[in-house]
């Protein structure tokens, strides 16, 4: 029923500091932060060759992350998100198996605009689980927030990525033309 791991979410008390660590210390590619008011979070995505990390921090006075960070002031892993083809069917199957959905059970748009739901960690081996409906769309069709560097002149001068079909690529920000990169037409 569940598909690929969409992302691992890490709650952080200071999003700018977390972005700095992933971008400047770890050398990862980090998106420009986006607000998701319906979920009470501000998000930046860290794109790695084999997965995505979602850095999240509270947004607004009623953010559900405030309690998590009160218990974990340094931050920590908040949830795992899995892709599903049909979120209503997945929800009904999991509820029938005894899992509790958080909230009213009605999916809401997540970061990519796709419907999402969360399941209680007490029913999921201690982990908060998010399901994200991807339907039958291809990866490039479902991402409404393209991954972009946080800074236009990133100190991370190159990054390595992997597309969902398994094609690996390298981008070098130091060299401006294909000839500079040793490529020939």
Bridge partners of residue 29, in order along the sequence? 47
User: Which one is catalytic: 23, 130, 132, 133?
Assistant: 130
Q: What is the phi/psi pair of residue 131, to 5°?
A: -110, 135
* Contact partners, residue 73, CB within 8 Å, separation at least 6: 13
- Region at 67 (left for phi over 0; alpha for psi -120 to 50; beta for the rest): alpha
Specify whether 141 is catalytic.
no
Q: Which two tokens stand for residue 66?
A: 């405030």
CB–CB of 65/41 below 8 Å?
A: yes
Residues recognised as catalytic:
130
């Amino acid at each position: 029923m569940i598909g690929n791991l969409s992302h691992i979410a890490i709650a952080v008390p200071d999003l700018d500091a977390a972005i700095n660590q992933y971008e400047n210390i770890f050398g990862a590619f980090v998106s420009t932060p986006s607000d998701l008011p319906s979920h009470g979070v501000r998000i930046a995505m860290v794109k790695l060759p084999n997965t995505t990390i979602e850095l999240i921090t509270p947004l607004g006075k009623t953010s559900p992350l405030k309690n998590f960070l009160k218990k974990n002031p340094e931050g920590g892993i908040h949830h795992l998100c899995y892709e599903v083809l049909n979120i209503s069917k997945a929800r009904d199957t999991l509820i029938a198996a005894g899992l509790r959905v958080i909230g009213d059970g009605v999916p809401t748009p997540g970061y990519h605009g796709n419907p999402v739901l969360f399941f209680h960690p007490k029913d999921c081996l201690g982990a908060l689980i998010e399901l994200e409906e991807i339907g039958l769309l291809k990866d490039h069709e479902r991402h409404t927030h393209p991954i972009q560097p946080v800074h236009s002149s990133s100190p991370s001068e190159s990054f390595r990525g992997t597309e969902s079909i398994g094609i690996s690529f390298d981008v070098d920000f130091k060299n401006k033309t294909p000839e500079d990169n040793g490529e020939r037409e």
